[in-house]
Every structure is written in C-alpha cells, then in structure tokens.
C-alpha cells in the first residue's frame, strides 16, 4: 500500500504540473491575443493557473494559499511566461491550443479533486465540497477572461467544461464516502473528468443555450 501511495503522489504531482502549465499557457495566449504588455501577460497567466485555487482557499478560509506553500509553482509559471513571450508567435497559437487540450483536461480533473478533498477534510457537506472542486478547476479561466474584458468561455462557448468538473467532483466525493484510498479517488476523479472533456471535444458536444 505504501508503494501505491507513493506512486499515486508522484502521479498527482506530474498531473498537477502539467495542468498548471496548461492553464498558465492558456492565460498567456489570451493575453497575447489582447496584445497586453509583459506585466499583463504574467498577471493573466498567474490568474489562469492559480485563480481557482486561490478563490477556493479564500472561501474555505485557508492560509497560507497553496501557491505560497509551493513557490516552485510560481517560478515555473514565470519561466513559462518568459519562454512563451520569447519564442511563440501568433501562427503558433492554434497548434498550441490543440496541444494543451490533454494537459488542460488532466489539470481540470486534478484541481477538481484537490478542491473536493480539501473541503471534505474540513467536514463540508458533499455539495459544498463538489462546488469547491468546481471553483478550483474552472474559475482560473473565468478570471483570465474577465481580466481580458470578455465573457468567460466557460459560460459562453457551450462546450462542456464545468459540467465535466461537476461530475468528476461527485465521483471523488462518492469514493470518499465509500472509504476508498486517496490515490484511487484521485484517479477516478481525473479519469472521469478528463475523459468526459476529451469525449466532449471529440464528439463536439454542445450545451443548450438560452432560447429567446
């Protein structure tokens, strides 16, 4: 079991790094589209990568914030922003967006699981815990788009994203209630969330829009 726990922790770290990088890169690309300066690019990249987790920590009254505890994540995002600004040009954007779809979906699942876990540890009701997971996984992108002065894509592009996190959050909460090991709950949440997201992109699923 110790070996499995160690493997699960290593997997969690790798997925977290990939997801954080994908979220940060989505912020860099959006900032570049808006022709922001270097400070703006860094701010938008930071919001995309850490905004959801920071909002979760505020709502759960947790201190210090998770990115304060893991300052290596800050350095990684700063390095990623510098590299992207130095080497990426506009004709790279579409290929990059397609390339980050996989780590973005994995990061969504992992951050959802992290948010649900932290709320459950604090004895929050299951629905509150799932919403904390949803906030952790989704609201970085929401803040990114708000700062870039546009309606958040999560609310307007009609592609299932938050719905995938919501379903995955309930999977984690259910595994927790059944007493499953943490690594198994993590794999189940990431697998369901990322799998639904990939399937939605592949099948071009759309959420219903408001009919006037």
3-state secondary structure 16-32: HHHHHHHHHHHHHHHHH
Interatomic CA distance for residues 211 and 208, integer angstroms: 9
| Domain ranges (residues) in the chain | 2-203
Q: What would the pLDDT profile of 125-171 be if each residue is shown by its tens digit?
A: 999 999 999 999 999 889 988 988 888 888 888 888 999 999 999 99
Structure tokens at 114: 């992290």
pLDDT, average across residues 43-53: 90
Q: How confident is the model at residue 193 (pLDDT cuts 50, 70, 90)?
A: very high
Contacts of 15 by beta carbon, 8 Å cutoff, 6+ apart: 106, 107, 109, 110, 190
Residue 139 main-chain phi, psi, to 5 deg = -75, -10
Q: Which of these ranges, 29-38, 117-126, 130-139, has the smallest mean pLDDT?
A: 29-38
Interatomic CA distance for residues 211 and 199, integer angstroms: 25
SS3 121: helix
Query: Is residue 39 scored above 60 in pLDDT?
Result: yes
CB atoms within 10 A of CB 1: 7
Helices (DSSP H) in the chain: which residue ranges?
2-33, 38-59, 66-69, 71-87, 93-99, 101-121, 126-147, 153-156, 162-177, 182-203
CB contact at 8 A, 140 and 153: no
């Amino acid at each position: 079991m110790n070996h499995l726990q160690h493997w699960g922790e290593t997997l969690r770290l790798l997925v977290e790094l990939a997801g954080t990088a994908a979220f940060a890169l989505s912020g860099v690309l959006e900032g570049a589209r808006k022709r922001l300066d270097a400070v703006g690019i860094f701010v938008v990249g930071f919001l995309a990568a850490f905004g959801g987790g920071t909002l979760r920590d505020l709502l759960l009254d947790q201190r210090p914030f998770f990115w304060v505890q893991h300052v290596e994540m800050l350095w990684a995002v700063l390095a990623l922003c510098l590299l992207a600004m130095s080497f990426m040009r506009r004709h790279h954007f579409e290929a990059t967006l397609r390339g980050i779809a996989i780590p973005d979906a994995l990061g969504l699942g992992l951050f959802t699981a992290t948010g649900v876990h932290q709320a459950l540890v604090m004895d929050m009701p299951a629905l509150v815990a799932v919403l904390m997971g949803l906030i952790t996984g989704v609201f970085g992108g929401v803040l990114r788009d708000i700062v870039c002065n546009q309606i958040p894509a999560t609310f307007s592009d009609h592609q299932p994203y938050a719905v995938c996190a919501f379903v995955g959050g309930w999977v984690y909460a259910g595994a927790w209630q059944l007493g499953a090991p943490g690594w198994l709950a993590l794999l189940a949440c990431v697998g369901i969330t990322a799998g639904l997201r990939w399937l939605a992109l592949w099948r071009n699923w759309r959420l219903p829009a408001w009919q006037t």
